[in-house]
Amino acid sequence: MSPQEFIDGMQIRAMELSGIPNTKRRFLTEYERFAWNTEEDRKHFSGIRERSDVRHCLILCTDWCPDVIWNVPLLLRVAETCGIPGEILPMEEHLDVMDSFLTDGGRAQPIAVYLNADGDALGRWGARPAYIQAAMDRFKKENPDKSRPEYKSNLDRTYRRIGELYREDDGARYRDAIIQELKTLFAAFPKEARF
């Protein structure tokens, strides 16, 4: 589906642990307020389509995940700047595709998959910037037993912390982290063959 169809179909939810009182409003706010931190970054991404073989971006996601609300607007803006068509694949309707791009064995979202002209995956990004994912990795390491009575409260505390990390510095830190991670990812893409 197109990004606009995804936005139009979004349900409005409150995600209190993540500090998101209205998911659709937050998604649109993140999309509308996106700005490049540096002109160098904007220039880097504006020429990607001419410099590499990337031709399409698939974003696997749902509208009920806080990471989607924070990250997909930025992923869409980057794709627009690159001149790469973006398409949303609702995760529940594309589990076979999602299962090809698991994160630590699980269905984390969003996952952005960058494809070449033949539809082959060149690379993927997701579901969170590495420094935010570190909070979840720490939780999993410290709480391996889901049957423990404190598991749920520790998980809730971790989700609150992740929400704080997204909101700190008015979101500038997480946005810059994603931009830098995408620059690294895109640098590994094969260069377009020119004849």
Average confidence (pLDDT) over 34-56? 88
Domains and CATH numbers, the chain: 3-127+171-187 (3.40.30.10)
For the four alpha carbons of 187, 32, 93 and 91, in that order, the dihedral sign comes to positive
pLDDT at 193 over 50: no
Q: How confident is the model at residue 43 (pLDDT cuts 50, 70, 90)?
A: very high
Identity of residue 77:
R
Which residues lie closer than 8 Å to 39 by C-beta, 6 or more apart?
none
CA distance 129 to 170: 16
Of the chain, the percentage scoring pLDDT greater than 70 comes to 98
> What are the tens digits of pLDDT across the range 15-37?
999 999 999 999 999 999 999 98
Counts for the chain of helices (H) and strands (E), in that order:
9, 4
Which structure tokens are listed for 142? 């410290």
pTM of the model: 0.93
CA distance 183 to 22: 31
